[in-house]
Amino acid sequence: MAKEIGIGLIGAGFMGRAHSNAWDSVNQFFDLPRHAGMNILAGHHSEDLAAFARTWGWKQHTTDWHSLISDESVGIVDVATPNNFHREMAVAALQAGKSVVCEKPLAGTLEDARAMRDAARKAKRKGANAWVWFNYRRCPAVAFAHQLVKSGKLGRIYHVRAQYLQDWGGPETPLLWRFIGKEAGSGAHGDLNAHIIDMARFITGDEFSEVSGAIQETFITERTLPDGGGSAISGKGGARRKKTGRSTVDDCLLFLGRFKKGAVASFEATRLATGNQNANRIEINGEKGSIRFDFERMNELGWWDHTLEPGLRGWSRIMCTDGEAHPYVANYWPAAHLIGYEHCFTSMCSDMLRVAAGRKPVVPLPDFEDAYQTQRVLHAAVRSAKERAPIRMSQVK
Ligand SMILES: NC(=O)c1ccc[n+]([C@@H]2O[C@H](COP(=O)([O-])OP(=O)(O)OC[C@H]3O[C@@H](n4cnc5c(N)ncnc54)[C@H](O)[C@@H]3O)[C@@H](O)[C@H]2O)c1
């Protein structure tokens, strides 16, 4: 087996940068049996791909993603493009015998997600892997919460309370692809609820049985057309045209859920929660204890030990930076030398390379089967909002 595995990245935007950094730094921070080779970058002809490739260390660049997929030097195709491209690119790569790691949500529609899941099943028989960038699983605090639940520390789970609140989607934000239904599939829902649905499934190890009570709203229906540039997610500060266009996605979507083992849950995703910039939060209450996490303080995990005598109970703030106890951190810095957003991507690259070498990931990697389950929940919530009715997961194939 070649020691180096060639990476081909499609997309040179926000995630293109995050993934480039991760593929580069994984070789330095982790001592792995296989290394990542940053072989080819594919992007849009409107972008300065030569400059991007130079900055981030890609050996070649192209505007033809098909040629990247067929290139012999590429073993893993990394899809970091808008959601409507995920199916075509990922399926083509899997059919070419490549492993794939695709951005979330798996797709804009359940139909596309199902086709991707089916392609991944076929490719798996030939040894290819298909993963999804649910990067928050690899925050050490989240991975540790998963381990705590698995070891029975929380006991029976009663409640899951998850929110993903951002505030960049106000009227000043232009009509980026994220607001166009045909390109994004949905708005805050697919973008943000996808993350917290995955996180809830990952930490509890449980699956949804029903979704109900969903409401969605589009507050800002008309936005100015962008003309390039501006900040990574929102395009703020970039050029604008005078013309406006219609937003065809939700700005927020809230729903309730039930899990198979009996827990009840609430989820809220919005781009208009002024004062909350990346508040990806989850609290889980069990019979023996509770955990809570907020990405804005990503190095910490809140822990409540309900087995203590009542007078001694209280929330502990666990600094998840102990290399002996907390996943991944031993590969970075000494205790309480904090890590950031980018490390979750690097840690995910390390687990993919570990699996490519026949080893187990530190905590489970989200694959297309897994992301398809999350997509079913997304779909059920949209149906619940439209039909104003509960949707049993058995109704969503
Ligand atoms: N995991 C996370 O936390 C996270 C965060 C942000 C975005 N995302 C996801 O990542 C994906 C990309 O989002 P982004 O924020 O990087 O968007 P972006 O707009 O910043 O970048 C998209 C990139 O795709 C390129 N592209 C579009 N069509 C292409 C084509 N046909 N061929 C080659 N390149 C093409 C664009 O030129 C651009 O470089 C989306 O699926 C999004 O939901 C995930």
Q: What is the pLDDT of residue 136?
A: 98
12 CA to centre of ligand 1 in angstroms: 7
Query: What is d(CA 285, CA 20) in angstroms, rounded to the nearest whole number?
Result: 37
Q: What is the pLDDT of residue 4?
A: 96
Do residues 86 and 75 touch, judged by C-beta distance below 8 A?
no
Under CATH, what is the fold of the domain 4-135? Rossmann fold (3.40.50)
Q: Tokens 């995050």 — which residue?
A: 18
Q: What is the pLDDT of residue 373?
A: 98
Do residues 102 and 120 touch, judged by C-beta distance below 8 A?
no
Pocket test for ligand 1, best of 15, 109, 178 (most atoms within 8 A of CB): 15
Distances (CA, A) of 206 to 66, 189, 199, 375, 397: 38, 21, 11, 15, 18
Domain ranges for the chain, please list them. 4-135, 139-339+373-386
Q: What is the pLDDT of residue 230?
A: 79
Q: What is the pLDDT of residue 233?
A: 78
Phi, psi for residue 28 in degrees, rounded to 5 = -85, -40
**Helix or strand run (H / E) with residue 378:** helix 368-387
Mean per-residue pLDDT pooled into runs of 10, the chain (397 residues): 91 98 97 96 94 98 98 98 98 98 98 98 97 98 98 98 98 96 98 98 98 98 89 78 94 98 98 98 98 98 98 98 98 98 98 97 98 98 98 96
Q: What is the pLDDT of residue 96?
A: 98
Q: Tokens 């013309």 — which residue?
A: 243
Report the SS3 class of residue 363. Answer: coil
Query: What is d(CA 43, CA 50) in angstroms, rounded to the nearest whole number?
Result: 10
Q: Is the CB of 12 under 6 A from ligand 1?
A: yes
Q: Is the CB of 109 under 6 A from ligand 1?
A: no
17 CA to centre of ligand 1 in angstroms: 10
Convert the pLDDT of each residue in 141-167 to its tens digit: 999 999 999 999 999 999 999 999 999
Distances (CA, A) of 28 to 5, 12, 20, 38, 297: 15, 22, 13, 13, 25
Q: Is the CB of 85 under 6 A from ligand 1?
A: yes
Convert the pLDDT of each residue in 61-79 to its tens digit: 999 999 999 999 999 999 9
Question: In the CATH scheme, what architecture does the domain 139-339+373-386 have?
Answer: 2-Layer Sandwich (3.30)
